[in-house]
Amino acid sequence: MQNIKNYIEQHKQRMLDELFELLRFPSVSADPKYKPDVLNTAAFVAKKLSDAGADNVEICQTAGYPVVYGEKIVDPARPTVLVYGHYDVQPPDPLELWHTPPFEPTVRNGKVFARGACDDKGQFYMHVKAFELMMQTDQLPCNIKFMIEGEEEVGSDNLGTFVKQNKDRLKADVILISDTAMISMEHPSLETGLRGLSYLEVEVTGPNRDLHSGVYGGAVANPATILAKLIASLHDDNNRIAIPGFYDDVIDLTDAERKAINNAPYDNNEYKADLGVDELWGEAGYSTFERTGTRPTLEVNGIWGGYIGEGAKTVLPSKASAKISMRLVPNQSSEVITKLFTDHFLKITPPFVKVKVTPHHGGEPVVTPTNSIAYQAAQKAIAESFGKEPIPTRGGGSIPIVALFEAELGIKTVLMGFGLDSDNLHSPNEKYDLFNYYKGIETIPLFYKHFTELSAK
């Protein structure tokens, strides 16, 4: 382990400079205007994989943004780890809330602030640097494959096809992903599950044009008012989702599972203080971290209609819209939920407006096994580098592709994330602690060591 620490110490600055280079690309996959930047990011990642020592590096074209592939086969008889990550990032808006520009990484008290610092550039790049380290110090104990995509933030629409078409090339014993969080550096943890996702857009149309709210107010339905009523009806008084059948496939946790989650060293008061809210909100009967980790949710991600400019316009709008997404838990199906939502929303639409529901994207929930060799290797690696056994947790986020890997490739995943919930993922001022970055680079080679050793037994 000493030679790992030494190598990181010697190359600390360069490893950071390279991350900065990566973070300067505004690789926003959701917005077409960033297309050239997203493509340049893919080229950069490919270059860095080659530099680190990967063979057969390829920028694999898809119907959307390319997947960057690279591999190092030390011995076909040895086990193989497939590293997954994504080089695309969320849109940076609202821009005005950033303290420093989202695509000009800045270090403030030991943290690098930039869009993608944690999600997922900072985290997948740890694997590139850990790979370099293992190559340079001649301690890569097994085979490694990289699959870094550019559409995770928009639903990985084309990765499924890529995986189907590259089953042989992607053959591996485990998929290793760092795109999740730990409770804290004092309380290292390993996520054992992810929520699925169903993301839709709804558009409510009232009159065929914007109207004078005085001349027509009271005579015709206001689509913004109706949209509000429709959205309001989607949660009941216990903040449960009021879509018939929504919970039918949810498997309730065992008392033991609930106990484990509630024993995790979380602090509701710190949590409230960090978010600046007086009270938390959520489904009655579940603790905060049961709700985020193990219960499905429905959130309005965006809403708009009518006049939203300066001053006052007395208009009765023609249309009002909302982006709505649901997080799903194990045994729920994105497709089923998308249909349930759509049917319900159309069903509750009153006759004086028209509604259009457009699915954006979805993903299936997953639970990762905690009894696998790979999971045990991750536990040992973290215990060794942090000096503490990791706590198993359930993550609230979604990496839709994980379920697909399992279905298509028959490979389980290990979620060895080094981020923090408070890293402002998808928010202004996204950050990643340099401590976590280097700690990740230090921990990853230990995973390879233990995984290879345990596999040999």
Return the amino acid letter for 395: G
Q: Give the tokens for residue 430.
A: 């996204």
Residues recorded for the chain: 457
CB of 393 to a copy of itself, least distance (A): 12
CA distance linking residue 226 with residue 290, whole number of Å: 32
CA distance linking residue 347 with residue 257, whole number of Å: 37
Task: Name which of 124 and 438 has its Cβ closer to a copy of itself.
Answer: 124
Task: Name which of 21 and 270 has its Cβ closer to a copy of itself.
Answer: 270
CB of 117 to a copy of itself, least distance (A): 13
Task: Name which of 93 and 389 has its Cβ closer to a copy of itself.
Answer: 93
Task: Name which of 72 and 295 has its Cβ closer to a copy of itself.
Answer: 295
Q: Give the tokens for residue 446.
A: 């230990």
Task: Name which of 53 and 359 has its Cβ closer to a copy of itself.
Answer: 359
CB of 223 to a copy of itself, least distance (A): 9
CA distance linking residue 445 with residue 442, whole number of Å: 6
Rounded to the nearest 10°, the torsion over CA 297, 301, 306, 311 is 120
Single out the residue of 262, 449, 431 nearest to residue 373, CA to CA: 449
Using an 8 Å Cβ cutoff, are 282 and 290 in contact? Answer: no
CA distance linking residue 76 with residue 178, whole number of Å: 25
Task: Name which of 81 and 337 has its Cβ closer to a copy of itself.
Answer: 337
Identify the H or E element spanning 337: helix 334-348
Residues with Cβ within 8 Å of residue 310, at least 6 apart in sequence = none
CB of 384 to a copy of itself, least distance (A): 27
Task: Name which of 256 and 275 has its Cβ closer to a copy of itself.
Answer: 275
Task: Name which of 169 and 426 has its Cβ closer to a copy of itself.
Answer: 426
CB of 271 to a copy of itself, least distance (A): 8
Which segments of 202-296 does DSSP mark as H helices, in order? 223-232, 255-263, 268-275, 288-294
Helix, coil or strand: residue 67: strand
Using an 8 Å Cβ cutoff, are 315 and 210 in contact? Answer: yes
- Backbone φ/ψ region at 36: left (φ over 0), alpha (ψ -120 to 50), beta: alpha
CB of 408 to a copy of itself, least distance (A): 23
CB of 457 to a copy of itself, least distance (A): 36
CB of 67 to a copy of itself, least distance (A): 19
Single out the residue of 379, 433, 402 nearest to residue 177, CA to CA: 402
Question: CA 81, 87, 92: angle at the middle one, nearest 5?
Answer: 145
CA distance linking residue 85 with residue 125, whole number of Å: 9
CB of 74 to a copy of itself, least distance (A): 36
CB of 150 to a copy of itself, least distance (A): 14
CA neighbours closer than 13 Å in the CB half-sphere of residue 199: 17
CA distance linking residue 159 with residue 161, whole number of Å: 5
Using an 8 Å Cβ cutoff, are 80 and 168 in contact? Answer: no
Task: Name which of 303 and 383 has its Cβ closer to a copy of itself.
Answer: 303
Compute CA distances 381 → 125, 134, 177, 371, 446, whole Å. Answer: 18, 15, 14, 15, 5
CB of 201 to a copy of itself, least distance (A): 8
Task: Name which of 153 and 442 has its Cβ closer to a copy of itself.
Answer: 153
Task: Name which of 80 and 178 has its Cβ closer to a copy of itself.
Answer: 178
